[in-house]
Amino acid sequence: MNQKYHSPEKDNYPGSKNSLNVLQSIIYCIFSYICTLIYNYTGISTMITVNNLDLQFGKRILFQDVNMKFTPGNCYGIIGANGAGKSTFLKIISGEKDPTRGAISMGPGERLSVLSQDHFAFDEFTVLNTVLMGHRELWAIMNEKNGLYAKPDFTDADGIRVSELEEKFAEMEGWNAESDAASLLSGLGIKETLHDCMMKDLSGKQKVRVLLARALFGQPDNLLLDEPTNDLDLETVGWLEQYLSNFEHTVLVVSHDRHFLDSVCTHTVDIDFGKLQMFAGNYSFWYESSQLALRQQQQQNKKAEEKKKELEEFIRRFSANVAKSKQTTSRKKMIEKLNIEEIKPSSRRYPGIIFTPSREPGNQILEVKGLTKSIEGEILFRDFNFNVEKDDKIVFISRDPRAMTAFFRIINGEEPADAGAFQWGQTITTAYLPLDNAAFFNSDYNLIEWLSQFAQDTNEVYLKGFLGRMLFSGEELLKKVNVLSGGEKMRCMISRMMLKDANTLILDTPTNHLDLESIQAFNNTLRTYKGNVLFSSHDHEFIQTVANRVIELTPNGIIDKMMEYDDYISDPTVAALREKLYK
């Protein structure tokens, strides 16, 4: 099943044996062509239609009375609080889960492709064949066709069937299938040397990329992507953003990456108050408009007419600033036509992340001299020299994420460098958010007991205040920390950081495991934070809105630029230097 596919040999092709077979093949081709013309002429539209959809678990209603149409050329970002039913909604559309009531329909002959979450399902297949299998009909034709050609007793009936298969194969551009699959894999960072490897021999992060290529393969009519940017580096996320921006069919996506949602989405579907509401516009439009509506709700004295004018002005400004894309004009028109009454405050709860430095940092923050670090003989960075200046918010990036983690651990005294030294200023106090926090939660403490380990003031009311800011309350405070989810652990670690009143924050991939609301709150507070920030992240928007300096760690030196991230990645001089240093 894992064999390569090839063109039929001339002496085995049925048309050379029997002219009747040739005539039948021609008739079949003409019939297929006429059917295609009729289909195109009638203008049958393709779309996903959701009718009267309800989903209920016991007494809990996730959503009800959902009626929507998802049309080609649009990308719909599905957003909602954790547990709102975003992934479940995609599973209902894919047929993996049944709704309580209602139906999902698609156009005749439409193909649906879903990003698989099972990383072991294709372990016995090669990487390339795993991608090809994403187009089930094409894969079945390839297998049947090659099986017939391999028969030693090739019959006239086999010849008729092969001619039918060859016609379908050509219609699906089957002869380009392997090169198209290879192109997707390369774009997603899977080197050509791995294309013939077995899936079981790949790392977890490599498998994620292959499964994403499998979902994208063959230009499906409808594409469902649940957290497609997980485990992707910033460059690969950029490639995916570009790919989906040019995708001409229907896409539904769930993601915690705001820049990704803003880059690819023409519409936002918000799951809130037990309902699904569709907005024209991306995540930023939804967030800013819902925040404006919330502020207006709190302004009891403002007249309704004044509020309406404020919303109209917001829509005009936002539509004027819509990012350039193929959907710009239509999106702008849809935003401008938006009914003011549709803009409502969200029921989302945002954490109260507040960092308040107990003292202002002096002029000497951090001095690094000649730092070098390797892992098992592989150089992560060499002879690293730099100074942190007052008000610096530095993002550290590298093609090898181990470099940032190693650097942060070194300057926090958790592991030694191979060479070099560093010196913190006398006025500097730090708070560190590590990439791996598992060691902090190996106990059966409840949340209050856990946080008290890191506090000078162990008053329970005081500690509850910090946990409350991170949305822990009531019975949750008595939960044992060794059973917390990844997101809950991150919220505890942020509570711990807030206790320190530090003037320098060190953050190793701080958005991991956090929901959109927590990421947004974290992002907002770092933008106005009065101290220094040293951080790494896979979140483009987080980097762009926080960092004022970029340092890239490579095995052959560093690149250190006082500029915003978007300017950094688009600078041709920087691009040339990067290629040189990574050789």
In sequence order, which residues have a C-beta less than 8 Å from that of residue 246 and are 6 or more positions away? Answer: 326
CA atoms within 13 A on the CB side of 153: 0
Residue 538 CA to residue 517 CA, distance in Å, equals 17
Residue 301 CA to residue 313 CA, distance in Å, equals 20
Residue 422 CA to residue 381 CA, distance in Å, equals 15
Token readout for 538 is: 């896979």
Please name every residue paired with 70 in a beta bridge, in sequence order, or none if there are none.
48
Residue 500 CA to residue 548 CA, distance in Å, equals 24
pLDDT at residue 186, rounded to an integer: 95
Q: Does the CA dihedral 472-525-434-462 come out positive or negative?
A: negative
pLDDT at residue 281, rounded to an integer: 84
- Helix, strand, or coil here: 159? helix
Token readout for 216 is: 């994208």
From residue 296, alpha-carbon distances to 299, 306, 314 in Å are: 5, 10, 13
Radius of gyration, alpha carbons of the chain: 28
pLDDT at residue 264, rounded to an integer: 94
Residue 336 CA to residue 283 CA, distance in Å, equals 16
CA-based angle 188:189:193, to the nearest 5? 125
pLDDT at residue 38, rounded to an integer: 41
Phi/psi for 15 (5° steps) reads: -60, -25
Pairing of the two strands 250-254 and 267-272:
unpaired
In sequence order, which residues have a C-beta less than 8 Å from that of residue 138 and are 6 or more positions away? Answer: 132, 169, 172, 174, 177, 218
pLDDT at residue 256, rounded to an integer: 94
CATH tag, 48-110+258-342: 3.40.50.300
Q: Which residue's entry shows tokens 């000497």?
A: 364
Question: How many CB atoms lie under 10 A from the CB of residue 492?
Answer: 22
pLDDT at residue 59, rounded to an integer: 87
Please name every residue paired with 381 in a beta bridge, in sequence order, or none if there are none.
373
| Residues 448 and 437: beta-carbon distance below 8 Å | no
Residue 13 CA to residue 153 CA, distance in Å, equals 13
From residue 447, alpha-carbon distances to 350, 375, 476, 487 in Å are: 19, 36, 8, 14
Residue 195 CA to residue 128 CA, distance in Å, equals 5
Output the 3-class SS for 178-192: HHHHHHHHHHCCCCH
From residue 415, alpha-carbon distances to 375, 409, 433 in Å are: 12, 6, 15
pTM of the model: 0.83
May I ask the CATH architecture of the domain 366-440+501-581? Answer: 3-Layer(aba) Sandwich (3.40)
Low-confidence ranges of the chain (pLDDT < 70): 1-46, 300-302, 307, 315, 318-343
Q: Which residue's entry shows tokens 């890191």?
A: 454
Domain ranges in the chain are 48-110+258-342, 366-440+501-581
| Residues 379 and 555: beta-carbon distance below 8 Å | yes
Rounded to whole angstroms, the maximal C-alpha distance in the chain is 93
pLDDT at residue 12, rounded to an integer: 42
pLDDT at residue 39, rounded to an integer: 40
pLDDT at residue 338, rounded to an integer: 58
Residue 524 CA to residue 503 CA, distance in Å, equals 17
DSSP state of 458: -
Which helix (H) or strand (E) segment holds residue 507: the answer is strand 504-508
Token readout for 235 is: 């460059």
pLDDT at residue 99, rounded to an integer: 96
Residue 567 CA to residue 480 CA, distance in Å, equals 45
The residue type of 356 is T
Token readout for 441 is: 């939660």
In sequence order, which residues have a C-beta less than 8 Å from that of residue 563 and are 6 or more positions away? Answer: 549, 550, 571
pLDDT at residue 5, rounded to an integer: 40
Burial status of residue 576 (CB atoms within 10 A of its CB: 0-12, 13-18, 19 or more): exposed
- Crossing angle for the helix pair 486-499 and 460-469, to the nearest 10 degrees: 120
> Sheet holding 267-272: strands in order across?
112-114, 222-226, 250-254, 75-80, 267-272, 275-280
pLDDT at residue 401, rounded to an integer: 93
Token readout for 350 is: 């945002």
Pairing of the two strands 549-554 and 557-561:
antiparallel
In sequence order, which residues have a C-beta less than 8 Å from that of residue 286 and are 6 or more positions away? Answer: 79, 268, 270, 279
pLDDT at residue 296, rounded to an integer: 79
Torsion of CA 279, 285, 288, 289, to 10 degrees: -40
Q: Which residue's entry shows tokens 């008739």?
A: 27
In sequence order, which residues have a C-beta less than 8 Å from that of residue 239 and are 6 or more positions away? Answer: 187, 188
Residue 280 CA to residue 74 CA, distance in Å, equals 10
Please name every residue paired with 423 in a beta bridge, in sequence order, or none if there are none.
367
- Helix, strand, or coil here: 204? helix
